[in-house]
Structure 1
Amino acid sequence: MESPGCEYLDTPPAYRDFLERYLFPNRPVLFSAALVSSWSALSQWVIKTDDSSRINWVFLAQAYGEQSVTVADCSTRDFSDQKRHTMLFRDVVGLWRSGQGDSLYVKDWHLARAVHQEAFYNTPDIFRDDWMNAYYSACTSDDFRFVYVGAAGTFTPLHRDVYTSYSWSTNVCGRKRWWLFPPEQTKLLLRKGAEEHMETAFDVRHVDPCEFAGFSQAKPIVVEQGEGETIFVPSGWYHQVENLTACVSINHNWCNSVNLPSLYESMCAKVTEVERALEDVRELLSQNDEPGSQGWEREWVRIVQDVVEKDAGWNWITFWKMVQHALRAAVPSIIDCKELKLSLWQPAPPSLTPPLPFIHDRVRTCYTRFLLRSEREADLVEGLRGVLNEIRQMLDRIVATQGTRTDDSR
């Protein structure tokens, strides 16, 4: 259902239209079920009658019941999240079917990776330019492709996706309500005096005006998402999601060259946050180092990067390896990379990405700024210099083959 500030598209757009109208201006949009009409999940996971639809619990429990899933208890807050534990999916379904566990919400279920030979859905073309899942699927045992399953009333608290990544989410069955806050409203969501740590309100439906004095001024875009519909959440937008009915959805977090500068800035901000929190460690390391030696700096950067990775899942080596992997896939005719593994994620063809000069400019800007950082991570993070050198070589080859370009415009 279209809401003020969020368009509704009955017909899936061509990639270039999506790029120009939503990716570049960083605007949300809701798509009709036509975008995902070919998905087998829409028939296998759903029982449809003439006037209603319901989740096919029997099929889901039989097909995926042995899967271990993370379950959030939406009735129990745990700092900025909800209390979580692990269960077999069949046991969660058993609770729901017996009328129990209404507060339980299966989240962040990596089902696509676990059963990758069973294609219950495919990524819509307009979302295929996905650097995060391309890298993680090929080079790690993780990814950012999730299934969510929850009863009516379960919800995900107010948050911004990892390092300002995009997300898209499709309701296979059921309905959701979304509250979307554009980046310029972020400061209104923060606890008074907590700007440094970006502590936001937990639940937009229950906000203490004394603790979050600016929240009353925030003007979210509220979207009700129906069965089969897909929502695109732009980069850096805080959002909260509530299941209005029992709901099964498929979600990706993703990024590419368009929002790479935002991810880069978010990485910088996270490093600064960790450095401030560990200032006493830095002082101790520098005092205990041998006179005239700068060895403590390498250890300091290692500690900071380790904490950044544990806290947010990424650090600088992850970020730049992702960029390296994306460039290898984007310019295979320029760089011969026989070891590039593409079995779990096929790269988007040039027709589904921005022009190569644009990709070059986005990466080059972040690369140049990174080399100028006073923290000197380029030289102090083990193994990073080699990754950066290959990125520079690929960028130089792009210029040599595509011609020079000095602006960052479209």
Structure 2
Amino acid sequence: MYLRYPRTDAAPSYTEFLNEYLLANKPVIIGPSLISSWAALSRWVNEDLSIDWEYLKTAYGSCEVTVADCSTRDFSDQKREKMLFRDVVSLWQSGNGQSSYVKDWHLARTLATTSSSPPGEDALNPDPFYTTPDIFRDDWMNAYYSAYTEDDFRFVYVGAAGTFTPLHRDVYTSYSWSTNVCGHKRWWLFPPDQTHLLFRKGGEEHLETAYDVRNVDSNQYPLFNLAKPTVVEQGPGETIFVPSGWYHQVENLTACISINHNWCNSVNLPSLYDSMCAKVTEVEHALEDVKQLLSQSASPAATDATSSEPHKGWEDEWIAIVQDVVEKDAGWNWLTFWCMVRHALALAMDRFDLASETLWPHTPRELMPSLHFITERIRACCDDFVKRPQHEIALVPTLNTVLADIHQLIDTAE
């Protein structure tokens, strides 16, 4: 039996969204009124609601995109390659490439940062193809990444009918929202209290979940049949909000284009922090043999004969190795996490000197929780972090400075 997924035709106010969905960590599908002003709805779609492939090829054909082959599994993901967008569209137009799925396309950032935008886009349509709805503006991830990195978490997805994204949970239990510009999708969503049912037998420590919920080996995943996912179909113009920590799988029922963001803020900060701690523990367990080698090399027995002192700094090296693997595996490490928190807190306190408005406009105070709520959430995570037995605050370079800045901002806010 499937669980019911809430829907609302009217776009909620920020206060309604905060209280009914963010704080409750509750999913919802919002009707087309939320994004009725988006230019993409008219530029990318013909009057009969089919995709205007010729416009897309003219406007964005020279963009290099990542294309997943949904017919070829690559560990927990799909085999990927780089292609020009016009070449992918030509494949679809010729009746080929039906398993090809354009994923994680940073189109908004590309258009904002490329000196010569793809032909047709700026000249014919100078306005952006979409804007972030107000209820999703309090977005720490994209605010920080847009200001300080060459990356972000804003994506366009384009795929034929039958293409899909395997079962996964978004990075560090971040939220996601996804709007269908055109087409239909089917979602399978599993609330956090069902997560333990999704793991491979004996694989809980490494969080190895089923790949495709439509074809699960009951011998390898003996608890999966006990899970009761929410299964929902998303239509054109509809926006789905996926709460923190919900595993999900998505299938395109028709040719489909969607705009997606991963995001976080003070509301799900405790979940992100706990997920970071769990990821570090997972990596530490996986590299236990490395830790033993490092510690043994620092023992007196391994000391150079010309020195009476053991090697120093193996703990520093160990922490550096763990943080490097964490970053490579999941995109963040502790330094990234706390720098993002510092940036978000400074913006919430109207410290615009740290902000870059070019790629991510400043979020008004009325579109975020109270400053007291924000500082208390951050303080709780900080207090726990400084007590961690790994002592990362002392061993990760510059991290103590970042935490000191955060504490100073909190004191100033009070």
Corresponding residue SS for 1:129: coil
* Structure 1 residues not aligned, in runs of 5+: 400-410
Deviation of 1:339 after TM superposition, in Å, equals 4.2
Report the Cα distance in structure 2 between the residues aligned to 1:367 and 1:19, rounded to whole angstroms. 24
Q: Aligned equivalents of 1:64 and 1:225: distance in 2?
A: 25
Distance 1:340 1:75 in 2: 42
Q: How many residues align?
A: 391
Q: Structure 1 residue 338 and structure 2 residue 369: aligned?
A: no
Within 5 Å, give how 1:218-229 maps onto structure 2: 218-229=227-238
Deviations 1:60-101 (A, max 9, x none): 011000100000000000110000010000000000000000
RMSD: 1.2
Spell out the pairing of 1:345-364 with structure 2 (5 A cutoff).
Answer: 345-364=360-379
Task: Give the counterpart of 1:82 among 70, 78, 85.
Answer: 78
State the Cα deviation string for residues 240-296 of structure 1 (Å, max 9, x = none): 000000000000000000000000000001101111111111111111125556511
Q: Is the 8 A contact 2:165 2:250 kept in 1?
A: yes
Q: Secondary structure at the match of 1:338?
A: helix
Distance 2:328 2:353 in 1: 31
- Report % sequence identity: 65
Letter in 2 for 1:112: A
In the TM superposition, what are the counterparts of 1:5-404 in structure 2 within 5 Å?
A: 5-49=4-48, 53-116=49-112, 119-289=128-298, 291=309, 294-332=312-350, 335=351, 338-399=353-414
Instruction: Give the aligned residue type for 1:104.
Output: S
User: Cα distance, 1:8 vs. partner?
Assistant: 1.0
**Post-superposition offset of 1:131:** 0.1
**Aligned-partner SS, 2:50:** strand
Question: Aligned partners of 2:254 and 2:318: how far apart in 1?
Answer: 49
* SS of residue paired to 2:337: helix
Q: Cα offset for 1:383?
A: 1.2
CA distance in 2, matches of 1:342, 1:381: 30
Cα distance in 1 for residues equivalent to 2:177 and 2:99: 24
Question: Counterpart of 1:83 in structure 2: which amino acid?
Answer: K
CA contact (8 A) 2:347 2:354 kept: no
Report the alpha carbon displacement of residue 347 of structure 1 after superposing the two structures with TM.
2.3
* Runs (5+) with no aligned partner, structure 2: 113-125, 304-308
SS of aligned partner of 1:261 = helix
Amino acid at match of 1:328: A
Distance in 1 of aligned mates of 2:225 and 2:290: 39
TM-score (ref. length: structure 2): 0.93
- Measure the CA separation in 2 of the matches of 1:74 and 1:22: 32
Going from structure 1 to structure 2, the CA distance change for 1:348 and 1:43 (only over 3 Å counts) comes to same
Q: Secondary structure at the match of 1:223?
A: strand
Whole-Å Cα distance in 2 between the matches of residues 7 and 29 of structure 1? 5
Q: Residue 397 of structure 1: CA displacement?
A: 1.1
1:165 is matched by which residue type in structure 2? S
Residue 385 (structure 1) shift: 1.0
Q: Which letter does structure 1 place at the counterpart of 2:279? A: K
Distance 2:315 2:3 in 1: 51
